[in-house]
């Protein structure tokens, strides 16, 4: 019974470690030309507003009017779960952890070109990309075929 309990604890730990990183439903401002948001700020994104795309974070929100967006790019970075593999089980090497990046290019209120790069949690990629395409009328520029597949397959 003790071994069963130990196994279950280990599995729980493994699972929680495997999910470490950005929450699957959240987004993070990675960087860009937006001075008002600190790099690495986490929050949530919303396309429910008909006029603005919104990134909500703890101390405020960042909004981009859809009709100011002139470029949408999606890319991803895939890596092995090395930390989990070393700490817990080599089996983790067989799975890949993907990070999803959305770059929004837009003209600010002064007509100056700006860019903001967001990391998207895996559960919001498909919805975010589809909604942005619909709202802005811009097509997503996928980094490569793998990114296109991942972005559409979620």
Partner 1 sequence: MKKLLAALLALLLVSTYPALAGLGSHSAMYVGGTVSNLPDKTEGHFSTGDDSATFKSGKASLTIPYSKIDSLEYGEKAGRRVGLSVAVSPLFLLSKKRRHYLTIGYLDEQNKQQAAVLELGKDIIHPALSTLEAKTGKKVEYQDDEARKVATGH
Using CB under 8 A, list all residues that contact partner 1. Answer: 1-2, 4-5, 8-9, 11-12, 15, 47-48, 50, 95, 124, 126-127, 130-131, 133-135, 137, 148-149, 152-154
For helices 145-153 and 125-136, the axis angle rounded to 10 degrees is: 100
Residue closer to partner 1 (CB basis): 63 or 131: 131
What's the CA gap between 101 and 104, in Å, rounded? 10
Task: Write down the least CB distance from residue 98 to partner 1, Å.
Answer: 11
User: Are 130 and 53 contacting, i.e. CB atoms less than 8 angstroms apart?
Assistant: no
Cβ nearer to partner 1, comparing 37 with 55: 55
Q: What is the residue whose two structure tokens read 């990309």? A: 129
Residue matched to tokens 């470690």? 17
The span from the CA of 140 to the CA of 133, in Å, is 7
- Minimum distance between the CB of residue 112 and partner 1, rounded to whole angstroms? 27
Of 114 and 138, nearer to partner 1 (C-beta) is 138
Pairing status of strand 141-142 against strand 113-120 = unpaired
Least distance (Å) from partner 1 to the CB of residue 33? Answer: 26
Nearer to partner 1, 3 or 110 (CB): 3
């Amino acid at each position: 019974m003790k071994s069963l309990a130990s196994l279950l604890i280990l599995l729980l730990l493994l699972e929680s470690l495997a999910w470490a990183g950005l929450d699957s439903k959240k987004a993070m401002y990675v960087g860009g030309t937006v001075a008002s948001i600190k790099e690495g700020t986490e929050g949530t994104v919303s396309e429910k507003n008909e006029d603005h795309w919104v990134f909500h974070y703890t101390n405020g929100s960042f909004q981009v009017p859809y009709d100011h967006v002139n470029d949408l790019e999606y890319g991803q970075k895939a890596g092995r779960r090395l930390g989990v593999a070393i700490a817990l089980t080599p089996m983790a090497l067989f799975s890949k952890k993907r990070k999803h990046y959305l770059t929004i290019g837009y003209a600010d209120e002064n007509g100056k070109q700006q860019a903001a790069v967001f990391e998207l949690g895996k559960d919001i990629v498909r919805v975010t990309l589809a909604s942005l395409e619909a709202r802005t009328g811009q097509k997503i520029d996928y980094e490569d075929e793998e990114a296109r597949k991942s972005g559409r397959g979620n």
